[in-house]
Copies of this chain bind each other. A is one copy, B any other.
């Protein structure tokens, strides 16, 4: 039996434990929702105040040069690159994940179809994050082609060279937002390439959460999110990476002035910048970008302690513990583990499914100071999901114990069936 004392010991032995001191977390709260919105780094408020009061208020327009606002998308991109197995100069921090996906999927379709106009299909996973599917659906509608949604176990067959002759792009989210299951990027990319198919990876639940090796795995395009595991703040700008072999082959469709070779020459004709800079479009929200920079700062201290490999080891130990405690203390209440048990197939969250009542259970848990989140099922094939993000930068082993203790009590007491926990909020 796992005990509280054992978990406290794990925290004492954890060399990464001091990293949580970088964050400002409300007292008495166990926050397991960093996969939806990362926690606030302590340095962010001061830095944002400086940007507002000094750089904007005093420096005014001069700060585009003097405070380095202008090349912030590239500077932050270089820092994100080091977390996802890319090189400096290959990533920009900009716009939203959805918009960046539109840029790269457009470019991927152009490249895949050049010389192969019959490659009309985009294949993805039925349970992919919906905005990825919406963007792909919109592009297929506008440019011709079809979006085909598969179950994950059917991807390999769909990528067999004979089956995939009319496939242009494989579009996947690396770590699934509901289940926390992680795809094998290297194997799927290799299979796709054998069939002449390009790959677009959404790293929303991967960047800062699991080691990513975009270049080693020979991925083609990737996008990701700044406000989850990168701790960039609500709606922080997202990022985009393009393999250098593809970066300059086509214009991306959102060809605005920030992606121009000489934006301040104000020439009437568009000339794309070289490399990833052409994936910029318009002026970026500098205050929010500055907060993203502080989110990235929290990885600098981790770097000296083993970086993403050390964070991954801790993340897996946390999710192992979480799963073990679910089995030890929360059985008999209809909860089912949907996150894979195999460590190499797991992201940095644990998800539990329940036919119904998931929303109320999560509300009862939040009332007890344990914040995870809820993703509704469709009442048919897809069950309700309770999601628990495990952020190794600030989550401890005792936190996991306490979370499961509260879940145990919510389930045993049946308190979640009270009316107050069953009133839906607008956004959950």
Binding site for B on A (CB under 8 A): 24, 26, 29, 31, 33, 36-37, 39-40, 44-45, 48-49, 52-53, 55-58, 60-65, 69-70, 95-99, 102, 126, 128, 130-131, 133-135, 137-139, 141-142, 149, 227, 233-238, 251, 253-258, 260, 263-270, 281-289, 291, 366, 371, 373, 375-376, 378, 425-428
Contacts and interface: CB of A to CB of B under 8 A. Distances in A.
B291 A287 contact: yes
A137 B270 contact: yes
Copies of this protein in the assembly total: 2
B256 A65 contact: no
A56 B135 contact: no
Contacts of A227: 283
Contacts of A61: 33, 36-37, 371, 373
Contacts of A257: 98, 130-131, 134
A56 B234 contact: yes
B284 A235 contact: yes
Given A52-B291, A56-B234, A63-B234, 8 more contacts: A45-B53, A56-B233, A98-B254, A99-B254, A134-B256, A233-B286, A234-B285, A234-B287
A140 to B, nearest CB: 11
Contact of A26 (B26, B57, B96, B286): B57
A60 B137 contact: no
Contact of A99 (B55, B256, B426): B256
B97 A426 contact: no
B283 A286 contact: no
A254 B60 CA distance: 32
A385 to B, nearest CB: 10
Contacts of A26: 57-58, 60
A217 to B, nearest CB: 25
Given A49-B48, A264-B427, A287-B288, A255 B36 contact: no
A70 B428 CA distance: 11
Contacts of A29: 60
A130 B268 contact: yes
Nearest to A281: B98
What are the 8 tightest A-B residue pairs by CB atom distance, in nearest-first order? A96-B282, A98-B256, A285-B288, A98-B282, A131-B257, A138-B255, A234-B286, A40-B57
Nearest to A110: B142
Nearest to A255: B138
